[in-house]
Structure formats: structure tokens, C-alpha cells
Structure 1
Amino acid sequence: MAHIDLQSSVPNLQPGQLLARGVARHLVSHGFACVEELVPARGLRVDVMALGPKGEVWVVECKSSRADFTSDSKWQGYIEWADRFFWAVDQDFPTELLPDDTGLIIGDAYGAEIIRMGPEAKLAPARRKVMVQKFAFHAARRLHLLRDPDLLPEWD
């Protein structure tokens, strides 16, 4: 498989995307596969969805600033689509704003660390099946578009 130079694309990413990149790098180091900007249900788009080695589904919502956090009213809708929910923020973010009963990851574009594990709320088997299928479909589409960007109009 060809090596993709992500370093060259880092300057073109928004702050939340840079954070998502570091979170994904960290989770991959723990055996997870990650996709960004996955839609679990109409009107929702999670920043990072991670599928673990035992089939666990984690959702990570990346917040790049206080304003980014306070303007988000949809995050509670993400919890029902995962076994664990986390916030990911940078080291300068005022973490006291974040609910204590959620997970916390501190990171940057190059890595991250889980500071507080999100509480586990196991998905129902039917919901888990839906999420694993969405994850697989989303990941496969991303791979197809990487190999053949001309497919994009076909999928709009």
C-alpha cells in the first residue's frame, strides 16, 4: 500500500480537524480504527468514531475553543450512538466547562491522551449492528474516494 503524506495536509486543516487527527492517532495506537465526520443519524455528525478491537464503539467530540463548545447543542444526541462518549480538547481548553460524567481526551494534531474514561453504556445489539455497518460503509467510501476522487459526484 502506498504511503500517504499527511504532514503536508496538516496546515490545511481546521483546529477541530487537527485535534481529531491527533485523537485518531492515539486511538489507533490502542488498536482502534477511526473515521472522522461520521453521520450516525440525520442531523448529527460526530467528529471521530472509533471501533475497538472487541467491537466497542466510541464517539469523540472535538472542541477547539470555549465558543465552539458553548455553541454546540447537539452533543447529547451523540451519546446514544456509542458505548463511550469523550470530549477532545487541547491543553489550553477550560476543561471545567465539560460535564464530569463524560470522557476527556487532551490532544493536538500529533497525538492525545485519555485523561478521564467515559462511562460505559453498552449499545443495544441492533444499534451496534447499525453503527458497525455505518462505520464500514463510511470507511470504504473514504478509501474509494482516495483512490478515485472522480466518484464524488456519483455519491452526492
Structure 2
Amino acid sequence: MLARGVCRHLRAHDFVTVEEFVPARGLRVDVMGLGPRDEIWVIECKSCRADFTGDRKWQGYLEWCDRYFWAVDRDFPAELLPEGTGLLLADGYDAEILRMGEERRLPAARRKVLMRKFARHAALRLQGLRDPGMLSAYRP
């Protein structure tokens, strides 16, 4: 539900989003947003303290985005979240940016690879919605 609110909020800022995006083997981000100036944001949704403390991979996501954010609900203990990362307060309907993540611009070559992966991911999702049996029949 947090991801839905995050995606809605980012769309209001002219971002497009995909959920459960794999930038590299072994990594799966909750939401990746692509902005109007080709900026790439990664947003990890955390529902509780245990969900956050059990996440051992989040720092590996930093090299795959220009800005990194956490999305949490009102009851989440936000003081646990590392400085320098962004913070969104979210629910199933919307979100609000409380803290902007530090900008670390991606190298051009990595940005190009991510943009291509993002486009393919989004197109496959759309095809899967239009023709659900097609994706499983043609998986390489």
C-alpha cells in the first residue's frame, strides 16, 4: 500500500514509476521513479522497525539512483533512518516528501543502462496486463 501512495505522489511531480524493479542481480527495489529531467530515484517502503532492521541490502541501491528515499507510515520510528537519505510519509493514497535525499548523480553509462531496463520493465508489465498468458509462454 505504501508503494501505491508513493507512485501517486511521484506522478503528481511528473515522475513515472515501476515497482519491484531489478537494477542488478540480487537487488530488487520497491519503487524506481524516472523524472522529467531523467533523474532516477529509488524508494524503499518500510512497514515497521523489524522490516527496516532486517534490510541488509539497501546501501547497495545507492549506486543505482540519483536520490534514495525511504517511504514509511505515520507510526514508523523515523529516527532509525540514516541521515543523507530521503524520507516520504506515505499511505495507500498519497505521500509527502519530508526530507529530500542527497543527490549523487549517476554516471552517464549507468544511467543509459538503467533507462533501457526501466523501459523494458515497464513495457513487459504493460504487455502482461494486456495479454497475461503471453509473458509466461515466451520467457527466454
Of residues 3, 9, 15 in structure 2, which corresponds to 1:26? 9
Counterparts of 2:38 and 2:134, CA distance in 1: 30
Report whether the alignment pairs 1:101 with 2:84: yes
Matching of residues 53-72 of structure 1 within 5 Å: 53-72=36-55
| Sequence identity percentage | 66
SS of 2:37's equivalent? coil
CA distances 1:77-125 after superposition (whole Å, capped 9, x unpaired): 0010000000000011000000011000000000000000000000000
Report whether the alignment pairs 1:151 with 2:128: no
Counterparts of 1:92 and 1:149, CA distance in 2: 37
Q: Which runs of 4+ in 1 moved over 3 A?
A: none
Which residue pairs with 2:97 in the alignment?
114
Counterparts of 2:116 and 2:42, CA distance in 1: 15
Counterparts of 1:90 and 1:151, CA distance in 2: 37
Report whether the alignment pairs 1:138 with 2:116: no
Deviation at 1:152, TM superposition (A): 2.8
Q: List gaps (5 residues or longer) in structure 1.
A: 1-17
Counterparts of 1:73 and 1:47, CA distance in 2: 14
Which residue pairs with 1:44 in the alignment?
27
Counterparts of 1:48 and 1:130, CA distance in 2: 17
Deviation at 1:131, TM superposition (A): 0.7
Counterparts of 1:148 and 1:49, CA distance in 2: 24
Name the TM-score, length of structure 2 as normaliser.
0.97
Deviation at 1:155, TM superposition (A): 2.5
Of residues 35, 51, 74 in structure 2, which corresponds to 1:91? 74
SS of 1:118's equivalent? coil
Q: List gaps (5 residues or longer) in structure 2.
A: none
Q: How many equivalent pairs are there?
A: 139
Which residue pairs with 1:73 in the alignment?
56
Deviation at 1:151, TM superposition (A): 1.4
